[in-house]
Amino acid sequence: MDTPFPYAQYVTGKQFIGRKNDVTLLGNLLSQGEHVSIYEPPKTGITSLVQQTLFTMRLGGKAFTVGQLSALNIRTPEAFLLRLGSTLLRMVASTPDEFVRLTQKYLEGTHFVFDPRAFAETGQVLSLGWDLDREDILTMLRLPFRLCAERGERFILIVDEFQCLALVADPDIILRPLDAVLREEKDCRLFSFVFCGSGVNAMKGIFESSLLFHRVVEKVNISPVDDREISDHIQRGYLSGGKVVNQDLILGACRLFKGNLWYINHFSAICDAMSRGYIMEPVFVEALGNLVSMHEPRFKEMVNGLTTHQINFLRATVEGVLHFSSADVIRKYGLNSSANVKRVKDALMKKEVLVFDENDLPSLIDPLFEYWVKKYYFEIPQ
């Protein structure tokens, strides 16, 4: 069913608002065969940006084949490489005979095989006939470049939740060879990886702190959408159902959710379902309570997983502390020592609760969690 406030799927076309410059930048990079990383907090529009960019590129006459895989449940190098290879082969083939031919042609000498029985039972295109070795890894990572070069076609491969590779027992088994292959194939302009991730700090660890992928993977930042543009989008949605709302109420919601369109659309859909005609402030208040109640179990689980020092650091953050190593701050918030401050900071980043900008200033990643933790957990007057 069509809804003026989509939040359960990505959006393109008329539902995609703002970020036109981001679409142009990403489209130019992909057209030039660059590899791209995009990492932002969960539900901030990564998939919508990528899909809108591909939509725009096709409208502009660009021809390419797209593949997509998720690393969300990947915990071993073998699982990642098998999924990568299967996705690539499915981009160019569809029958068992074709899979056999391509496996023999491109993966000869490796331990990757096409197992007809596994394919018939599970749809699995590739299997491993033996333990991985370095040549297996390199050959598989070179596969997309070989496919593009020999077929003369442009491929784009989207890897969602790429940060989950950091959860592999030894991420370097994949990441270092991947960096080496991207450098080795830097002159190939027919294939692009799009590495997407909702774990901001984990993705920073891969693409910024590790010194890997420098100058071979371009980072694309997602721009904020102007509050007025969001307000116009929300008002059009209400008007399509014959409803009217005060613009100041919408702008207040934009500020509360810090421009997060997923939360704003979900909140607006709740208001829409609760109202007729003119939407008043009490509807917004009740809708906010409903939205908070949906996410509260997740928020409780988040804070219950924090140590006392981490809770104290979180409170300091929501109370506006920007620098945490001064003696006054350490004493006031019971942080023990500057060495402990660093440990606590690192832990909160690893748990994807806080993110720090280039000036080392903190912010909470989830705007609704920030609202809940201030109002309901720390009971700070609003």
Report yes or no: 381 and 232 within 8 Å, Cβ to Cβ. no
Report how far apart the first and last C-alpha atoms of the chain are (Å, whole number): 37
pLDDT by residue for the chain (382 residues), tens digit each? 578 888 888 988 888 989 999 999 999 999 999 999 999 999 999 999 999 999 999 999 999 999 999 999 999 999 999 999 999 999 999 999 999 999 999 999 999 999 999 999 988 899 998 899 999 999 999 999 999 999 999 999 999 999 999 999 999 999 999 999 999 999 999 999 999 999 999 999 999 998 899 999 999 999 999 999 999 999 999 998 889 898 899 999 999 999 999 999 999 999 999 888 888 999 999 999 999 999 999 999 999 999 999 999 999 999 999 889 899 999 999 998 999 999 999 999 999 999 999 899 999 999 999 999 999 999 998 7
Contacts of 93 (CB under 8 A, 6+ apart): 99, 101, 102
How many other C-beta atoms can be found within 10 angstroms of the C-beta atom of residue 33? 18
How many other C-beta atoms can be found within 10 angstroms of the C-beta atom of residue 195? 25
Q: How far is CA 174 from CA 136, 168, 205, 212, 304, in A?
A: 11, 9, 15, 12, 33
In this structure, the dihedral spanned by the alpha carbons of residues 336, 340, 345 and 350, taken in order and rounded to 10 degrees, is: -130
The crossing angle, in degrees rounded to 10, of helices 308-318 and 338-350 is 90
Sign of CA dihedral 341, 344, 346, 348: negative
Report yes or no: 362 and 322 within 8 Å, Cβ to Cβ. yes
The shares of helix, strand and coil residues in the chain, as percent rounded to the nearest 5, are 55, 10, 35
Sign of CA dihedral 158, 160, 166, 171: negative
DSSP structural state of residue 164? G
Contacts of 316 (CB under 8 A, 6+ apart): 324, 329, 332, 333, 335
The residue among 291, 290, 227 whose CA lies nearest residue 261 is 227
Sign of CA dihedral 278, 280, 284, 287: negative
Side-by-side strand order, sheet with 191-197: 65-70, 155-160, 191-197, 35-39, 217-219
Phi, psi (degrees; rounded to nearest 5) at 218: -95, 130
